[in-house]
Amino acid sequence: MSLALLLEQVLNGIQLGVMLFLMAAGLTLIFGILNFISLVHGSLYMLGAFFAASVYGWTNDFVVSAVLAVLGTFAVGIVLDVVAFRRLYMRSHLDQVLGTFGLLLFFNDLTLLIWGAEPHFIAMPQFLSGSVPLVAGSRYPIYRLAITGAGLAVAAALYVLIMRVRLGMLIRAAASNRQMLGGLGINVRRLILLVFGLSAAMAGFAGVMTGPLVAVQVGMGDAILITAFVVVVIGGIGSVRGAFLSALLVGLVDTMGRALLPHWLGYSAGPAVASMSIYLLMAVVLLLRPAGLFAAGRA
Amino acid sequence: MTTPKFTLALLALIAAAAVPWLGQPYLTRLATSVLILGIAATSLNIVVGYGGLVSFGHAAFLGIGAYTVGILGLAGLHSGFLGMPAAVAAAALAAFLIGGLSLRATGVFFIMITLAFAQMLYYAVIAAVPIGGDNGLRLDPVTFGSRVSLNQQTSLYYVSLVSLVAALYLCRRLVLSRFGRVLRGIKDNERRMISLGFFAYRYKLAAFVIAGGLGGFAGALFANLDAYASPELIHWTMSGDMLVMLILGGVGTLAGPVLGAAAFQLLQEVISSYTKHWMLFFGPLLLLIVLVSNRGVLGLVFREARRDG
């Protein structure tokens, strides 16, 4: 395998990792504060992509459709919290899984009803299409670099929000003791509402950004939801920093596995093993560090 | 033994035994799948209902059971005396491996990990071309000696019925045994049971393995019903469906999983006869059921009945 191809795969892996982080960060925030597991997160990713596809169909403007899609998923997150999640926080994990499973089935079928079964496509924005030179005459698409950068910017903003801003301090406080925070006169319910909206918007953003690279279709959120779970498990539940490092690790392992393993193991066994690689990684982490790699510091 | 419950169960059994006599192949097939789903949900109930462990990867064991029958068939082995125990053994072994790792974690972690491992198996199966890849694996139903073949609808129906009764008996004995008491103790207060000197991990793993083996048996029956080992059996929505059956019937009750399986199948039939978007209605219904009652529809009915009486 040439250096150019290797470098390209590394960049692809980082790009996948950044998108996974946008999903996993929301999941781990929600879990850290509420001890709540949501299966709807993949649906928000899917909705983000579909919203963007529709708005793009009307306006032909990628930026406008991205912004509206992220606002749309933010709103869906708020509505979900008011209608359903609020009543599920205090319940058992089984109830949370089943309740959000019901919502996931609903969203999949609703999307099928509105947008149909055939895949939709979002065109890349004009100013981000094309490619830049990499090493040895090979080239790399600007769009992938751009979404990696956008994802990293969101990650940095999230870091600043959580660690440097009053709102983030309240979020961290809610994660360590929700009742106490309420007792100090903070409107915890509104804070949680905001966190749900925020995590929904991040999932939607990931969906929008990935949209031009893949076929936008029903069920696209389910696969990435489970991969995001793997990220959360490896990173350590409740740790946003852990989610970031683990997302990059999972993105790289998955991409490199798919690129390299068929070379090494042949084209019949290679793809099968490659599709298992991140789960095997998870198994190894569980053997060595059952609480995840970066579970030490929460928040 | 002549409690009202026992009489009710006996009547249900007689009614169930009469189904093939109606001579309606479609109905018999539907009833067979309810019976098999009942076995599958019963096996999951051992882990979820009595062990308090929310496994979201139970479909893995159904799939392993089904594919074991299929792979033995590829090798020319069609005897049920070999196929069914092999399916149970293979699924139990997988449950030992998956459970051994997953049970190192608890709570939400455990849910995500079991889900991830089952999905790993799904991806591995659809990438494995020698066993059919994403087309699944066609197979010949197994035979027991020269007389009984699960190819015949009636034989399969009665084998499934007897298996379900045996599975329920096994489940009841298990729950009432010392093992079952320890398991329920761990569900209620794990730390206390550990202080009392029980190795909680081993008990949970044992329950997980038993449930996995029984799940494998149900999967093998499914393979015979369809003459086909389908990757869809391993898909994570199947794991979700089985949990739904538990909540419909009532988690941690003996009859709950079976009634839940019947209710699930019936709901699916009824709603999808009106619209092909059956999940559009079923999803919110499920959410509503979860919000209204955590003791299942059965629990709801019985609670109402008790209030009336």
Tokens standing for residue B216:
């494998």
Residue A176: pLDDT over 60: yes
Q: Which residue of B105, B120, B243 is in closest CB contact with A279? A: B120
B149 three-state secondary structure: strand
Q: How many other C-beta atoms can be found within 10 angstroms of the C-beta atom of residue B28?
A: 18
State the pLDDT at residue B178: 94
* Nearest-angstrom CA–CA distance, A29 and B276: 36
In three-state secondary structure terms, A83 is helix
φ, ψ of residue A218 in degrees (nearest 5): -60, 135
Non-local (6+) Cβ contacts of A170 within 8 A are: A181, A186, A191
Tokens of A31: 């879990």
Residue A133: strand pairing partners:
A139
% of chain A residues with pLDDT over 70: 97
Return the pLDDT at A101.
Answer: 93
Q: And the tokens for B150?
A: 């699960």
* Alpha carbon distance A273, A13 (integer Å): 17
CA of B100 vs chain A CAs: smallest distance (Å): 9
Say how many CB pairs under 8 Å bridge A and B. Answer: 128
List the single residue in A93, A106, A268 with the smallest CB-CB distance to B111. Answer: A93
At residue A290, does pLDDT exceed 60?
yes
User: Who wins on pLDDT, B9 or B86?
Assistant: B86
Percent of chain B with pLDDT over 90: 48
Q: What DSSP element (H or E) covers B137?
A: strand B137-138
| pLDDT tier, B91 (very low <50, low <70, confident <90, very high otherwise) | very high
Contacts of A276 in chain B (CB under 8 A): 120, 123-124
Q: What is the mean pLDDT of chain A?
A: 87
Contacts of B107 in chain A (CB under 8 A): 35, 93
With H, G, I as helix, E, B as strand and everything else as coil, classify residue B209: helix
A226 touches chain B (CB under 8 A): yes
Looking at residue B269, its pLDDT comes to 86
Contact B108 A37 (CB under 8 A): yes
Higher pLDDT, B279 or B166: B166
Q: Which of A64, A4, A23, A34 is nearest to A230 (CA)?
A: A23
Closest CA to B98 of B173, B229, B208: B208
pLDDT of B297 reads 57
Identify which has the larger pLDDT, B23 or A47.
Answer: A47
Q: Does A218 touch chain B (CB under 8 A)?
A: no
Question: Angle A41-59/A220-235 helices, nearest 10 degrees?
Answer: 130
Helix (H) or strand (E) holding A254: helix A240-288
- For chain B, what percent of residues have pLDDT higher than 70? 94
| Pairwise CA distance, residues A263 & A277, whole Å | 15
Q: What is the pLDDT of residue A174?
A: 85
Strand partners, B79: B143
CA distance A208 to A210: 6
Residue A278 has pLDDT above 60, yes or no: yes
Residue B146 is classified by DSSP as: T
A299 has a pLDDT exceeding 70: no
Distance CA A286, CA B102 (A): 8
Instruction: Give the residue among A226, A259, A274 at the shortest CA–CA distance from B128.
Output: A274
What is the arithmetic mean of pLDDT over B95-111? 90
Residue B107 has pLDDT above 50, yes or no: yes
CA distance B285 to A65: 33
Predicted confidence (pLDDT) at residue B26 exceeds the cutoff of 80: yes
* pLDDT of B302 above 70: no
User: What gap in Å lies between CA A266 and CA A261, rounded to an integer?
Assistant: 8
Please state the rounded mean pLDDT for residues B162-178: 94
Q: Please say whether the beta carbons of B98 and B114 come within 8 A.
A: yes
Distance, in Å, from the CA atom of A110 to the CA atom of A50, rounded to the nearest integer, reads 12
More confident residue, A291 or B306: A291
d(CA A45, CA A206): 6
Per residue in B27-74, pLDDT (tens digit) is 888 999 999 999 999 999 999 999 999 999 999 999 999 999 999 988
Give the one of B104, B243, B279 whose C-beta lies nearest to A106's C-beta.
B279
For A131, A146, A210, A215, the CA distances from A142, given in Å and listed in that order, are 5, 6, 14, 19
Residue B113 has its nearest CB partner, among A93, A272, A286, at A286
Assigned token pair, A95: 């109830």
- B217 and B38 Cβ atoms separated by less than 8 Å: no
Q: CB–CB of A106 and B280 under 8 A?
A: yes
User: What is the pLDDT at residue B303?
Assistant: 53
Mean pLDDT of A234-261: 88
How many Å from the N-terminal Cα to the C-terminal Cα in chain A?
A: 40
Please tell me the pTM assigned to this model: 0.89
Give the mean model confidence (pLDDT) for residues A73-85.
Answer: 93
Helices of type H across A60-116: 62-80, 86-88, 93-115
Question: Using the beta-carbon criterion (under 8 Å), do B109 and A88 form an inter-chain contact?
Answer: no
Question: pLDDT value at position B182?
Answer: 94
